[in-house]
């Protein structure tokens, strides 16, 4: 339902039931007013002329958006630089890599300086390296600017973890969760596991100081790996660190591993939705 939802918001399709509001406007009755305030990209962009260059394609869309020749040219140059396409701006579109085509799609979506940017699985057809570059571009050149809201539709939960602060989880046509990612983790993610690397104490000395922790055995004089699950608010972790240091131990490293968001969402789905 991700693409359908995105198209409903973009006023590209009408709801079969219910009502969609964007900016407080009805998505059916006020479609024209809504379209002028948003930008959109999809995974399978087919809106560019293959014989034209990225610069020429953007000039074409700039005129459709109402930019005059001079201001439109400045806008196009700015966006080409913003998405790191200046070096490929005058090559035919058909010669561009998939990653550069998706960058151009992002530039086109940003042309009207939208209040809402809809990104529908923008990395799904990209190789891992190109996908990572596009995510970095969205994070550093779009989200960091805070000039527009971004709705990022994806099935890749690692992307959600990297880019999003709020999430809506759709499953079989239902919205099971809508809220911030931190709260979702707190309710369905279980507890994070922390590993302390300790020097100066033996396993026998550390065990009573970090009750319930798994202490890996080590050779005399080597560091210890102490794995424990922090309680609410990190109280158990803080207590263990304080006790180890107070008894002559040295904390060399501290690493916490969060439960992957994929497992968090699996727990949400198994629970049937939002848990009060």
DSSP 212: T
Quote the CA–CA distance of 72 and 61 in Å, as a whole number. Answer: 9
Name beta bridge partners: 215.
226
Quote the CA–CA distance of 193 and 188 in Å, as a whole number. Answer: 15
Alpha-carbon separation of residue 213 from 114, 189, 210, 228 (angstroms): 51, 20, 6, 4
Whole-number pLDDT of residue 45: 84
Classified as helix, coil or strand, 88 is helix
- Within 13 Å and on the Cβ side, how many CA atoms surround 113? 8
pLDDT truncated to tens, each residue of the chain (276 aa)?
Answer: 888 999 999 999 999 999 999 999 999 999 999 999 999 999 888 899 999 999 999 999 999 999 999 999 999 999 999 999 999 999 999 999 999 999 999 999 999 999 999 999 999 989 999 999 999 999 999 999 888 999 999 999 989 989 999 999 999 888 999 999 988 988 887 767 788 899 998 888 888 888 777 888 666 667 888 887 655 444 477 888 899 999 999 999 888 887 888 888 998 999 887 654
DSSP 218: -
At a CB cut-off of 8 Å and minimum separation 6, what does 275 contact?
Answer: 187, 188
Among 185, 137, 195, 143, residue whose Cα is nearest residue 161: 185
Quote the CA–CA distance of 151 and 6 in Å, as a whole number. Answer: 8
- Is this model's pTM higher than 0.85 or not? no
On whether the CB atoms of residues 101 and 48 are closer than 8 A, the answer is yes
User: Which residue blocks in 138-171 are alpha helix, DSSP H?
Assistant: 157-163
User: Which residue blocks in 66-139 are alpha helix, DSSP H?
Assistant: 69-82, 98-110, 128-137
* CA 200 to mean position of chain CA atoms: 41
DSSP 95: G
Whole-number pLDDT of residue 219: 65
Quote the CA–CA distance of 117 and 137 in Å, as a whole number. Answer: 14
On whether the CB atoms of residues 178 and 221 are closer than 8 A, the answer is no
- Tokens 């966006």 belong to which residue? 79
Q: What angle do CA 174, 37, 102 make, to 5 degrees?
A: 75
């Amino acid at each position: 339902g991700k693409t359908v939802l995105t198209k409903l918001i973009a006023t590209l399709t009408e709801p079969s039931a219910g009502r969609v509001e964007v900016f407080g406007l009805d998505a059916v009755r006020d479609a024209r007013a809504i379209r002028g305030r948003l930008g959109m990209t999809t995974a399978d962009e087919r809106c560019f002329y293959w014989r034209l260059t990225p610069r020429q394609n953007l000039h074409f869309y700039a005129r459709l958006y109402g930019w005059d020749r001079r201001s439109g040219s400045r806008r196009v140059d700015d966006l080409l630089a913003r998405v790191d396409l200046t070096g490929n701006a005058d090559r035919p579109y058909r010669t561009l890599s998939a990653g550069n085509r998706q960058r151009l799609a992002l530039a086109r979506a940003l042309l009207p300086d939208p209040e809402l940017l809809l990104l529908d699985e923008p990395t799904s057809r990209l190789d891992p390296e190109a996908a990572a570059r596009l995510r970095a571009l969205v994070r550093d050149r779009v989200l960091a600017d805070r000039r527009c809201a971004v709705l990022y539709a994806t099935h890749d939960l690692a992307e959600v973890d990297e880019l999003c602060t709020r999430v809506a989880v759709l499953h079989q046509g239902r919205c099971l969760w809508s809220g911030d990612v931190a709260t979702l983790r707190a309710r369905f993610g279980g507890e994070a596991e922390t590993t302390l690397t300790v020097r100066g104490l033996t396993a026998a000395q550390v065990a009573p100081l970090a009750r319930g922790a798994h202490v890996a055995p080590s050779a005399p004089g080597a560091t210890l790996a102490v794995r424990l699950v922090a309680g609410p608010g990190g109280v158990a972790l803080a207590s263990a660190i304080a006790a180890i240091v107070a008894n002559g131990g040295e904390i060399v490293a501290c690493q916490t591993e969060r439960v992957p968001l994929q497992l968090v969402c699996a727990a949400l789905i198994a629970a049937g939705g939002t848990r009060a």
